[in-house]
Amino acid sequence: MDTLLQILVNGISVGAVYALFALGYTLVFSVLGVINFAHGALFTLGAYLTYLGVGGAVGSNGALAGWALPLALPFPVALLLAGAGCALANLLVEAIAFRPLRRRGAEPLLYLITSLGAGVVLVNLLQIAFGAEGYALPADALGDLPPVLSLAGARIRSVQLLLLLVCAVVMAVLTVWLERSRGGRALQAVSEDAVTARLLGIDSDAMVRLSFALSGLLAGLSGGLVGLSVSIAGPYFGIVYGLKGLGVLVLGGLGSVPGALLGGLVVGLAEAAVPGDLSGLKDAVAFAFLFAILLLRPQGLLGRPPISKV
Amino acid sequence: MPDGSLLVQMLIGALLGLSVYLPLAAGQLSLATPGFMTVGGYVAALLSTRVAALGGAEPLYPLPWLLLELVLAAVIALALALVVGLPVLRLRGIYLAIATIALNEILRVLLLNSSWTGGAVGIFAIPQPFGDPLGYLAALLLLLLLAGAACQVLAGHPLGRAMAAVRDDELAASCSGVDSFRVKLLAFGASAVLAALTGVLAAHFFNTWNARQGSFDASITTLAFVVFGGSRLWLGPVLGGLVLTALPELLRPVGDLRLVVFGAVILLGPLLFPQGVVTPALLQRLPLPAGWRRRLLP
């Protein structure tokens, strides 16, 4: 049986990942009012790119078997490059799966379908290139940092601290940027009313692209960090997080940045509190919360109730 | 694989396509068709191997038991659809898509972790009610004809028109006196029942059943049936299910590309063919007897 402190540590670090995930959905949702279902696939891409960046070789089952970069980058550099790669990939997703529908003024349902398709194509291309096997990032990726710290009987892994740190920094920077900067306020204006924002001289297409790039960056960073923390379980591992991230998103409230954080922490802590002999049921926790919140408070913990106008 | 069994799988695909089509005709995306099919399959697998337990006294599994399985599967699926639909369908927008993903995952986790349902390995040696694939072919064809006839009646029925109205503009439909909640719930319930009935027959046909039948992949595959075939006419998803089930078998050499192709269908379909392959315009052009055309078009 884990101590309470251990449960808190594990729960908060997993919750931080869920929060980053939900935040990635939230960025796109708050601008376009739709969910990018390809987000989980970008998370997978980020993990694989980080793995390649630190010098990992492709396993024997992939089409690229045995291939590796000629050099091994330090983990932070590889992680940032992977984040940048995912930002570019998400811009591509926007250009293919979202922009044509936006031009046509299509219904939100179609965005779900096309982005789901983009995610499936991406994940299966990764599967063809890398094979279905799992990959582990080298344990010494964090250099001289000790892998495990001990605090009052709880084991805290350095990578868990790093996850928390990245999550906290991203949350803080994003909140300040959204509330204080011109660009952030322009993004909020577009999310409030795209037509009015355009009349006020805001390039709403550029804002949409910005939100996709930022959201891709978040997916890439969290993918690389989780890859280091718990290893890459195969091309579909991002989809599993992506589905749970949807639960977190609805729990926190669609489009709410603090809601994403709160939802992530609630689900992470609840999962960590599931006793060991029931650990198989852990994966259902996020979805149980989802149904509970839809019953009790459909707008989510911190979301605004939708207003429909005729 | 003998051709008979490919035909059986194609019919299963057509039925699942119809199951995704029904809520979509009311503007709701349900990804739970494989989930409800899994439930139906487990009803059949559990009832035939644990409860009926006829111990090989009879060469073939008796048809009255099969009918009992179908009824029970329909009732359980309908109850489950109500549990999910009652809270979720009061909301507008994309909540059903998210909630049905959640339902799939909860079902998968529960089935994998319960020893009663055989855990991860599932249930084996499900008895055969028919001696050869021809029996399954007949049973599935009957189910498909019944479901197709129901959809055909629906197209001209006020309920079908209400579904189309909710799909085109839910708010406007509500303002015109359509009870959009009831319409969406009916469509979702019908989708669940059809998937569960298909699951019963599929479990007997495959002889073994496990929680992988309801995986995320399966949701993608069934969605591709409808996006490919089109969601304006019920013939679309039937054609989509038939063709896209046969396609991977016919394109064996392509191998691993199956899901890439289905993903590309879902990605590009709404962009290039917003109405799918079977559209009202296509039926206008086909050299059909005028009476047929009039009946097939809404």
pLDDT digits over B208-249, tens only? 898 888 788 888 889 989 988 888 889 999 999 998 888 877
Domain extent at residue B25: 3-214
Average pLDDT over residues B146-154: 93
Cβ within 8 Å, pair B27-A280: no
- Checking ipTM against 0.90, whether it exceeds it is no
pTM of the entire structure?
Answer: 0.88
Q: Which residues of A touch B106 (CB under 8 A)?
A: 284, 287-288
Residue B141 pLDDT exceeds 90: yes
Question: Which band of pLDDT confidence, cut at 50, 70 and 90, is reported for residue B255?
Answer: low
pLDDT along chain A (310 residues), means of 10: 80 89 88 89 94 88 82 90 96 94 83 90 90 83 74 79 87 86 86 83 88 94 88 85 89 86 92 83 88 86 72
Residue B91 to residue A287, Cβ atoms within 8 A:
no
Q: What is the pLDDT of residue B3?
A: 64
CATH number of A4-296: 1.10.3470
Closest residue of A to B175, CA-based? A310
CA distance B56 to chain A (A): 35
Residue B74, in any domain of the structure: yes
Question: Does residue B280 lie in a domain region?
Answer: no
Q: Which of A47-56, B16-25, B190-199, B251-260 has the lowest mean pLDDT?
A: B251-260
Domain boundaries, chain A: 4-296
Residue B183 within any structural domain of the chain: yes
B127-162 burial: b if 16+ Cβ within 10 Å, else e: bbbbeebebbbebbeebbeebbebbbebbeeeebbb
Q: Is residue B148 included in any domain, yes or no?
A: yes
Q: Is residue B26 part of a domain?
A: yes
pLDDT of amino acid B125: 84
Query: Are B95 and A96 in contact (CB < 8 Å)?
Result: no
For the stretch B7-20, pLDDT in tens is 999 999 999 999 99
- Put simply, whether B120 touches A (Cβ < 8 Å) is no
Among A47-56, A158-167, B134-143, B145-154, the minimum mean pLDDT is found in A158-167
Residues whose CB falls within 8 Å of the CB of residue B210, separated by 6 or more in sequence, listed in order? B111, B118, B120, B121, B122, B123
Task: With H, G, I as helix, E, B as strand and everything else as coil, classify residue A144.
Answer: coil
Q: Which residue has the tokens 């078009």?
A: B297
The span from the CA of A32 to the CA of B231, in Å, is 25
By Cβ distance, the residue of B103, B113, B264 closest to A121 is B264
- Number of independent structural domains in chain B: 1
Residue B82 touches partner A, C-beta closer than 8 Å: no
Look at residue B279 and tell me if it is in a domain.
no
Q: Is the pLDDT of residue B1 over 50?
A: no
Which residues, in sequence order, are bridge partners of residue A149? A156
Asked whether residue B252 is domain-assigned, the answer is no
Instruction: Give the number of A-B residue pairs with CB atoms closer than 8 Å.
Output: 125
B-chain CB neighbours of A284 within 8 Å are 105-106, 109-110
Structure confidence at residue B251 (pLDDT): 67
- Cα(A231)–Cα(A254) distance, integer angstroms: 29
Whether B269 and chain A come into contact, CB under 8 Å, resolves to yes
Whether B260 and chain A come into contact, CB under 8 Å, resolves to yes
